[in-house]
Chain A
Amino acid sequence: MKLKHLTGMLFLLLLIPSLNMQVAVAEEKEDLIPVTNATKLAIVTRHDSAITNLFIAEFVKSEYAAKVGITSNDEVDILPITTYDGFSKAMSNPLFDVSLGWGGGPTLFNNLAAEGSIKPITNTTLLGIINGVLPDLIAGAEMKSYNDNDEMMWASSAISSFGFTVNHNELEARGLPVPSTWEDLASPDFFTSVSQANIGMGNAPDTTSNTRIYQIILQKYGWERGWQILYNMAGNGKIYGGSIETRTSVVTGETAVAITIDFYGLIAMTENPATEYIVPANGSIVNGDPISYSKAPPHEDAANAFIEFIYSQDGQALWLDPSINRMPIRQDAFSAPFALKRSDIDVIYGIYNETLLNEGIEFDEDLALSLEETMRYHFEATIDIPHTALKATWGDIMNAYKGGGFSDDRFDQINAVFGQPAITQEYAIEIEERMVDDPAFRVTKQGEWTETVTANFVRAEEMISEDETVISVSGTETLTSLVSASSVAPTTTDIPLNAFSVFVGMIASVMIIQLIRRKNRR
């Protein structure tokens, strides 16, 4: 009977996953013969489909693809993977059949190199082509990376800068100056009120580009001053989620400035002509967009052809597509036919030149790597989570300061307390590994840091109304409710209602009603 067979088939379906478990075990022990299908090149990438669709389509049409016998889009496989977990597995596990890793930033590729998931580029012809168009440094940033044997691990085919995007209409409406450095964003001039956010910042764990920017600030100004700037900026602004929400905030006018990587800034400019991307003078770095082999590329010739393609003039011009908005490394890309199709190509070229001329800061990639995780968790614990208290305190400080409540020196003293990070740089490096490996430690530390900075905020509040000669360093005071009995009237008032007691009250009343009802029934 038909149903019998159906049931049988369904049983079989159940067997497949159990087969998988066995396969997983088996595959660890032996080398698998790679997939025998039509793929002639597989690339794992963090780039989105706008980029990959365009590049693959053009690659397949080019002479480079023809040279290795690739003539159709189906022969090139794109694995767009966003998690580190997945990317790493795709690069190192032969099952994935991947030959190239493309896009995702230097940090990602440095980590991959460190764990041995990248095969160095040793092909002399290819090296010649790459080195012919790609300098070692652009704006002071490394465009290539070498291992201890001086072998090239990855090279960049596009560049990004980091800065901020301003909304001129909003700046005007709020009476804010046009910023040109990070310190401008941190200044009291950039504060208007507690319920208003003038700067949109991304939350560190959610966005790699914003994290990069914070690392830039920390290295340019040093750990202590850097964190102070970040706290001040947060006081003037608001912490969003990922890069897209941050960018959207300035496009819609919710904020007047948003921290963005360059291509998001350029996209914003197309969404709202009143916005403009600004590279802070002496306050940025250039990031390369890396490409590298996987651990054991099965289609090395095809991989080489693709690499040659993206370093060619026409290949480079593709970065300038209006949906992509990235900077190529070759200057002559701007004069390629593809690029000239774009009406605002001059504007982009202008930003490109600014980027190159911008003397990037001295950025220590190793240092950044050595405290990346701690930095993220510290940002979250001391800025994101207590943001309301941070902004309230900053608001009180600002209103007092602008109202002439105290001198500039006093402001510096207060700001020293307000903007003090919970840990030192050395400590951050020391606990870096433990922050990832030990969850109990991580959770405890984050809680401690939040408490520390919150106590700092309380202390800073007190200092507003204190005698100027009294200086104190934040300590172990626990958080008390903020009622400043000062000469400066607080600009915010709270209408209190303890929600917890409401909650308890509700549960209690429901239970009482139930009990009464039960009594009535009997």
Chain B
Amino acid sequence: MVEVTIENLNIMYGDFHAVKDVNLKIKDSEIVTLLGPSGCGKTSILRSLAGFVEPSSGHILVDDEDITHQPPQERDMGMIFQNYALWPHMSIMSNVIYGLKIRKNALRVMKIF
């Protein structure tokens, strides 16, 4: 059971107020789609969830844990990037098992394949 809560999220890029007082609750197993025209803040919200953007105010909670300022490495969020972000200097296998290697599960997975 995982719940994600976004409370009063504000994101500013310099003087530009990109995301203003956003509140969102995502329940367990729910699929949420953010729709909107270019530049309305969808990517900013996603990136703040993943930890790549510091909100200027507001909170992001996973269950009851406030992860607003947690570094991206430590968050349990998997992000798929808009442009795939495939590493061109690594083989396909290396791309796939990158995260697994960090968790030292790589060998086990490779054996399966």
A and B, direct touch (CB closer than 8 Å): yes
Nearest chain A CB to B96's CB is how many angstroms away? 14
Contact with B along A486-522 (1 / 0, CB 8 A): 0000000000000000000000000000000000011
Q: In the assembled complex, which residues on chain A have CB atoms less than 8 Å from the CB atom of B90? A: 521
Closest residue of chain B to A521 (Cβ to Cβ) is B91
How many residues on A have C-beta within 8 angstroms of the other chain's C-beta atoms? 2
Determine the chain B residues whose CB is within 8 A of the CB of A522 once the complex forms. 91
Provide the bound-state CA to CA distance between A522 and B92, in Å. Answer: 10
The contact string, 1 if C-beta is below 8 Å from chain A, for chain B 81-97, is 00000000111001000
CB of B101 to closest CB in A, whole Å: 11
Minimum Cβ distance to chain A for residue B1 (Å): 40
Which secondary structure characterizes the binding site on chain B? loop
8 A Cβ contacts from B2-53 to A = none
Q: How far is the CA of A522 from the CA of B91 in the complex (A)?
A: 7
Q: How far is the CA of A522 from the CA of B90 in the complex (A)?
A: 8
* Chain B residue nearest in CB terms to A520: B94
B72-113, CB < 8 A from A: 89-91, 94
Q: What separation, in Å, do the CA atoms of A521 and B93 have in the docked complex?
A: 10
Which A residues lie within 8 Å of B94 (CB)?
Answer: 521
Least distance between A516 CB and chain B CB atoms (Å): 15
A522 and B94 alpha carbons, distance in the complex (Å)? 9
How does the 8 Å CB contact mask read for A316-356 relative to B, with 1 for contact and 0 for none?
Answer: 00000000000000000000000000000000000000000
Bound-complex Cα distance A121 to B94 (A)? 88
Residues of A within 8 A of B89 (CB): 521
CA distance A183 to B91 in the complex (A): 76
User: Complex formed: what's the CA distance from A522 to B89 in Å?
Assistant: 11
Q: How far is the CA of A213 from the CA of B8 in the complex (A)?
A: 91
A158–B91 CA distance with the chains assembled, in angstroms: 80
Query: With the chains together, A211 CA to B90 CA distance in Å?
Result: 64
Contacts of B91 in A (CB 8 A): 521-522
Task: For the complex, give the distance between the alpha carbons of A30 and B94 in Å.
Answer: 77
| CA gap between A521 and B91 in the complex, in Å | 7
When C-beta atoms are compared, the residue in chain B nearest to A522 turns out to be: B91
- Which residues of B lie under 8 Å from residue A521 when comparing CB positions? 89-91, 94
Measured between C-beta atoms, what is the minimum distance from B90 to chain A in Å?
A: 7
State A204–B12 Cα separation when bound (angstroms): 73
CA distance A136 to B90 in the complex (A): 86
Whole-angstrom CA separation of A141 from B91 in the bound complex: 83
A window 255-311: CB within 8 A of B: none
Q: How far is the CA of A118 from the CA of B91 in the complex (A)?
A: 77
| Distance between A423 CB and nearest chain B CB, rounded to angstroms | 62
B90 nearest CB neighbor, chain A only: A521
Q: Which residue of A lies closest to B93 (CB)?
A: A522
* Bound CA–CA A522/B93 (angstroms): 9
CB distance from A88 to the nearest CB of B (A): 61
| Distance to closest chain B CB from A520 (angstroms) | 8
B92 to chain A, nearest CB (A): 11
User: Whole-angstrom distance between the alpha carbons of A521 and B90 in the complex?
Assistant: 6
* CB proximity of B113 to chain A, nearest CB, Å: 15
Measured in the bound complex, the distance between the Cα atoms of B94 and A280 in whole Å is 81
Instruction: Please report the C-alpha to C-alpha distance between residue A521 and residue B94 in the assembled complex, in whole angstroms.
Output: 8
Q: How far is the CB of A17 from chain B (nearest CB, A)?
A: 47
What is the 8 Å Cβ interface bit string for chain A, positions 227-261, against chain B (1 contact, 0 not)? 00000000000000000000000000000000000
Q: What is the CB-to-nearest-CB distance from B51 to chain A, in angstroms, rounded to a whole number?
A: 29
A417 to chain B, nearest CB (A): 65
**How far, in whole Å, are A38 and B94 apart by their CA atoms in the complex?**
79
Closest A residue to B89 by CB, please name it: A521
Nearest CB in chain A: distance from B88 CB, A: 12
Tell me, in angstroms, the Cα distance from A451 to B94 when the chains sit together: 59
Q: How distant is the Cα of A372 from the Cα of B91 in the complex, in angstroms?
A: 68
CA of A521 to CA of B92 in the docked complex: distance in angstroms? 10
Least Cβ distance of A476 to chain B in Å?
59
A522: shortest Cβ distance to chain B, in Å?
A: 7
Whose C-beta in chain A lies nearest to the C-beta of B94?
A521
Q: How far is the CB of A518 from the nearest CB of chain B, in Å?
A: 12
> Separation in Å of the A337 CB from the closest CB of chain B?
76
**Least distance between A519 CB and chain B CB atoms (Å):** 12
Closest CB in chain A relative to B27 CB, distance in Å: 43
Shortest C-beta distance, B105 to chain A (Å), equals: 18
A21-64, CB under 8 A of B: which get 1 and which 0?
00000000000000000000000000000000000000000000
Q: How many angstroms from the CA of A197 to the CA of B90 in the assembled complex?
A: 59
Q: In the bound complex, what is the Cα–Cα distance between A143 and B33 (angstroms)?
A: 104
- Shortest CB–CB separation between residue A81 and chain B, in angstroms? 57
A493 to chain B, nearest CB (A): 50
Give a binary string over B52-86; 1 marks a CB under 8 Å from any A CB, 0 the rest: 00000000000000000000000000000000000
5 pairs, A vs B, C-beta closer than 8 Å: A521-B89, A521-B90, A521-B91, A521-B94, A522-B91
> Lowest 5 A-B CB distances belong to which pairs?
A521-B91, A522-B91, A521-B90, A521-B94, A521-B89
